[in-house]
């Protein structure tokens, strides 16, 4: 039985190991900063991973953009359901 796996390689998700300093600081590997456009002075949000032990970092600007997109989708769905409820 020959199965094709569409799994991404580890290299697409893993950017290196970091050490937590005495003040809780870590250095984000250069390749990761370049890939995600993280610049000095950017604000990052730190989340607990929802399904596994670990942390997730996200730029504030990216989270704000995602929230704006979700709000736009919610507004569209609201209009659709209003039209449906009114029998249109």
Question: How far apart, in whole angstroms, are the C-alpha atoms of residue 70 and residue 65?
Answer: 9
| 19 domain residue, yes or no | yes
pLDDT tens track for 37-76: 999 999 999 999 889 899 999 999 999 999 999 999 999 9
Looking at the DSSP assignment, which residues form a beta bridge with residue 44?
Answer: 59
pTM for this prediction = 0.66
Residue 58 placed within a domain: yes
Q: What pLDDT is stored for residue 37 in this prediction? A: 92
Q: Is 4 part of a structural domain of the chain?
A: no
CATH number of the domain to which 14 belongs: 2.10.260.10
Q: Is 52 part of a structural domain of the chain?
A: yes
What is the domain range of residue 55? 10-85
Upper half-sphere CA count for residue 12 (Cβ side, 13 Å): 4
In a domain, 26, yes or no: yes
């Amino acid at each position: 039985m020959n199965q094709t796996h569409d799994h991404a390689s580890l290299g697409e998700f893993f950017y290196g190991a970091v050490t937590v300093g005495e003040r809780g600081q870590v250095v984000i590997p250069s390749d990761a900063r370049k890939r995600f456009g993280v610049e000095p002075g950017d604000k990052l949000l730190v989340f607990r991973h929802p399904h596994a032990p670990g942390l997730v970092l996200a730029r504030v600007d990216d989270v704000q953009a995602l929230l704006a997109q979700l709000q736009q989708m919610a507004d569209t769905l609201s209009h659709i359901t209003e039209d449906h409820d009114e029998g249109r």
